[in-house]
Structure 1
Amino acid sequence: MNPTVAVVGPGAIGTTVTAALHEVGRTPRMCGRTARENLELQVEGGRVVVPGPVQIDPAQVDGAADLVFLAVKSTQVEAAASWLKALCGPDTVVCVLQNGVEQESVVGPYVCGARVIPSVVWFPAQTQSDGSVWLRGEARLTLPDTSASRVVVQTLGGTRCSVELAADFKSVAWRKLLQNAVAGLMVLTGRRSGMFARGDIAELSLAYLRECLEVARADGAALSDDLPQEIVDGFRAYPADMGTSILADREADRPLEWDVRNGVVLRRGRAHGIPTPISDLVVPLLAAASDGPG
């Protein structure tokens, strides 16, 4: 028997997971802020249309789900609290599809005793002007190797969204956080991945990533000295027009996930007594871009 599933937040990531489940006959409940007749995922060779509607009233939820994919951004968790209250019970597993290394502490207070599973999302999905989502690569998640994670493995088994279990999840999560942190520089320039082809931007990015790497190691992550160069090379290999979610939020004048993507490096660096001169500059600029005033 398949578990009952809900997806809260049918944006780029949530739509991808919803469409992956729909393709194999496991269409989840769709919960969000905006009423929509359907969700649409553009994939190589075609489109996946998931018939709706998207539910917008938590009061109409008819009971807890076995598995909830929380696909809202960290800045939207409090606004999603009513959905979590309606969908979660003590036996529910909440898989958090968000950035950062603090997912459990951010989401935990809102889930009514449910088990929270952090994840690392590895796929590039972008919302288009018509509301559809363009999946620009293979969909893949990494989860910690726990019994609760196996509910997610079972649910997504045989779909276009693969799931890996990591014994050292902390290192995987910090590796992705370094990638997200340096992507924050796109906000400060208003440019996409093509900017990393500049020698000066590559040099700045490497210095920032080495600073982040030192903090990650102090926090218990086992990461290679080669990782900063690998990340910069990865951005250089992307299409020049490839964006990132934090840049899309800046362009739309929405609040930014600056704290979970960049501020955490500054905060944990201070906790470990590690100087973070680049973070000292980048984080206030991102915070101001997000929150103002002005």
Structure 2
Amino acid sequence: MAEKKTAEQNTSPGTGDRRPTVAVVGPGAIGTTIAAALHERGAHPVLCGRTARDHVELRDGDDAVVVPGPVRADPGGAPGTVDLVFLAVKTTQTQAAAGWLEALCAPRTVVCVLQNGVEQEQGLAGLLPHGHVVPAVVWFPAQTLPDGAVRLRGRARLTLPEVPAADVVLRALAGSRCAVDTSADFVTEAWRKLLQNAVAGLMVLAGRRAGMFQRADIGRLTSDYLRECLAVARAEGAALDDTDAAAVLETFRAFPRDLGTSILADREAGRPLEWDVRNGVVQRLGRRHGIPTPVSDVLVPLLAAASEGPG
């Protein structure tokens, strides 16, 4: 096999010997936010997606950041390998992104996985020919608008595990609109976010936005589900307790009533749902640990059916 070429490397003071070369695979809501943060710092991320475009745009309050493309749609046109890949496709699209990983990754490459769930590393098993996986917890809401631009609806922040490979992500986003922190207890942070992701599944089945959590009956159902998720999270080593679960419900109640979530948007558009990594994982791991999951046993089959049919 011919040796892969390496994209041109830019130098930048204050970030070590040079600025990392970066690609964003999946310039949707999360990927566009990251691309805009990189662009504002003077980086020029390689944009890779399913649809060719000449730019992507982020809107944050009164700010609009246009990131020039092109958005490449063919891995065969990749400019070479890079130091850092932000993988921002949904887990239902990971297999389809394998060509980009092959084209962009060298042995030194760090792949920062901006996906839901607590199984990011397992999700790339067999798909990553080279490189080092760094999972991330994404702590910000962003949504794609009808005109294709992305609206950021909160402060952008990522949490990474305290591992050496995370350093390139910290350097790439240092001083940008996307804050990055690391945690020595990444398992806890990943499960803290998964509690939120899991609860969002209720919105799919109701077909409603965040305002639904103001209902007392939905509050009780959510609390029951959160206790179930919490039991599984603690069995997996997460240092979470009842106050953390209660905080998730209060977070949903504090959201703007019209705020949706990515899994609800997928349902409304008739796209496959990330039900397994967000909800099925609680049921699967609950069974492994011998923990009853009565809410999951109802919720998961309904989400699976909503995603995959038949009917």
Over residues 64-99 of structure 1, what are the superposed CA-to-partner deviations in whole Å (9 max), with x where a residue is unaligned?
A: 110000000000000000001100111100000000
- What is the Cα deviation at residue 242 of structure 1? 0.5
- What is the Cα deviation at residue 158 of structure 1? 0.7
Partner SS state of residue 285, structure 1? helix
In structure 1, the partner of 2:125 is 108
- 2:261 counterpart (244, 249, 272): 244
In structure 1, the partner of 2:141 is 124
Amino acid at match of 2:288: A
- Residue 174 (structure 2) pairs with residue 187 (structure 1): no
Partner SS state of residue 163, structure 1? strand
- Residue 68 (structure 2) pairs with residue 56 (structure 1): no
Give, in whole Å, the separation in 1 of the partners of 2:44 and 2:265: 28
In structure 1, the partner of 2:185 is 168
Over residues 24-73 of structure 1, what are the superposed CA-to-partner deviations in whole Å (9 max), with x where a residue is unaligned?
A: 11120000010111101011222001111101111112321100000000
In structure 1, the partner of 2:164 is 147
- 1:66 counterpart (83, 87, 91): 83
Over residues 222-255 of structure 1, what are the superposed CA-to-partner deviations in whole Å (9 max), with x where a residue is unaligned?
A: 1022122111111000100000000000000000
Q: Which stretches in structure 1 are left out of the alignment for 5+ residues?
A: none
In structure 2, the partner of 1:257 is 274
- Residue 27 (structure 2) pairs with residue 40 (structure 1): no
- 2:242 counterpart (215, 225, 240): 225
Give, in whole Å, the separation in 2 of the partners of 1:27 and 1:133: 19
Give, in whole Å, the separation in 1 of the partners of 2:242 and 2:252: 18
In structure 2, the partner of 1:283 is 300
Aligned partners of 1:2 and 1:155 also within 8 Å: yes
For these two proteins, the number of residue pairs brought into alignment is 294
Q: Which stretches in structure 2 are left out of the alignment for 5+ residues?
A: 1-17
Greater CA drift, 111-120 or 256-265: 111-120
Give, in whole Å, the separation in 2 of the partners of 1:80 and 1:35: 15
Partner SS state of residue 184, structure 1? helix
- Residue 293 (structure 2) pairs with residue 267 (structure 1): no
In structure 2, the partner of 1:293 is 310
TM-score, normalization: structure 1? 0.99
Over residues 135-175 of structure 1, what are the superposed CA-to-partner deviations in whole Å (9 max), with x where a residue is unaligned?
A: 01110000000100011001000100010100000000001
Give, in whole Å, the separation in 2 of the partners of 1:62 and 1:159: 25
TM-score, normalization: structure 2? 0.94
Give, in whole Å, the separation in 2 of the partners of 1:144 and 1:11: 24
Give, in whole Å, the separation in 2 of the partners of 1:108 and 1:85: 13
- What is the Cα deviation at residue 121 of structure 1? 0.2
Share of identical aligned residues, percent?
Answer: 66
Give, in whole Å, the separation in 2 of the partners of 1:4 and 1:20: 14
Give, in whole Å, the separation in 2 of the partners of 1:132 and 1:285: 31
Aligned partners of 1:122 and 1:140 also within 8 Å: yes
